Structure 1
Amino acid sequence: LITLELLYYGILNKPILYISDFLEKNKNDYFNILDDVRNNNDIDRWLIFFLKGIIETANKSKNTFEKVIELRMQYENKIRTLGRRAQLGQKLLILLFSYPIIDTGSVAAKLNIVFNTAKSLLNEFEKLKIIKVFSFQKTKKKQFILWDYFNLYKT
């Protein structure tokens, strides 16, 4: 559901394991191979083509996941600089990976902290370049986005 929302707002171009991207990129081959299946019953060619698509898509996904892990480690290193607020910062980071677009009120509610503490922590994350302010046209709430995380999915 999150992926669909991110696709709707144009933040993501495609989900992580999205075979349709491979099929779109290889559209001519895709239709030619389907014709061969229909006309010549050449299912083997289709299976090989489809498995190549799965392999290519899975490799892209693996690379993306490795980059996510690396990015999370970078975030954690930045959060350590917060001193006594680092523990709360780690909780916010975990929350952001579950809710990568979030507003201050939601942070306060989900972390069970007061609004001003949530606002201050989000401001610190913004200074550390972990998040960016991001407002959808459909809402007037100030929202924050884990921007570098999203950029991993745009490539």
Structure 2
Amino acid sequence: MHGYHDGEVEEWVNFFLDGVIETANESINISKQITKLREEDMAKIQALAKRESESGVLILRKLFSRPIIGTRNIMEWTARYQPIDTSSYQASLCVLFNISTASWMLSAQRKGHDTSSKPCSFLKRFCGLTITKRA
């Protein structure tokens, strides 16, 4: 701001525009990573049996429009698919975990932290979650 008050407007504008460019590039990268995450999760869900796949796709689509939900939301969204076995809920939990940790991982990467531990894989092992593929 010192340069701005001293009449050095061009330097201040350049500084401001550099910030806009950096923020825009970060947003583009985050958007690409979220899209990739969505595609990977969609592929995992579509590998489930038909009933679980249908409800899982529905849940994933709704999660991307409303990422903060509770189990009641999932039950309401999948009511027409009842009874649903636990594999679709397990898949949904993994998808939800992926989405909720995506911003954490991106933030950690920007700060130079190691994010190679793949938290979703850890959660699957820790909680005993398994996603069974169709035969």
TM normalised by structure 1 equals 0.57
- CA distance, structure 1, for counterparts of residue 55 and residue 81 of structure 2: 12
CA contact (8 A) 2:55 2:81 kept: no
Q: Tell me the CA shift for residue 86 of structure 1.
A: 1.1
- Quick check: 1:107–1:118 contact (8 Å CA) kept in 2? no
Distance in 2 between the 1:113 and 1:105 partners?
Answer: 14
Root mean square deviation of aligned Cα = 2.6
Q: 1:121 Cα shift?
A: 2.9
TM-score by length of 2: 0.65
**Distance in 2, Cα, partners of 1:118 & 1:48:** 57
Whole-angstrom distance in 2 between the partners of 1:151 and 1:57: 17
Sequence identity (%): 25
Aligned mates of 1:44, 1:116 — CA distance in 2: 65
Aligned pair in 2 of structure 1 residues 49, 118: CA closer, same or farther (>3 Å)? farther
Aligned position for 1:79: 45
* Alignment gaps of 5+ in structure 2: 109-135
Q: Give the corresponding residue for 2:107.
A: 154
Count of residue pairs the alignment pairs up: 107
Q: Is the 8 A contact 1:104 1:115 kept in 2?
A: no
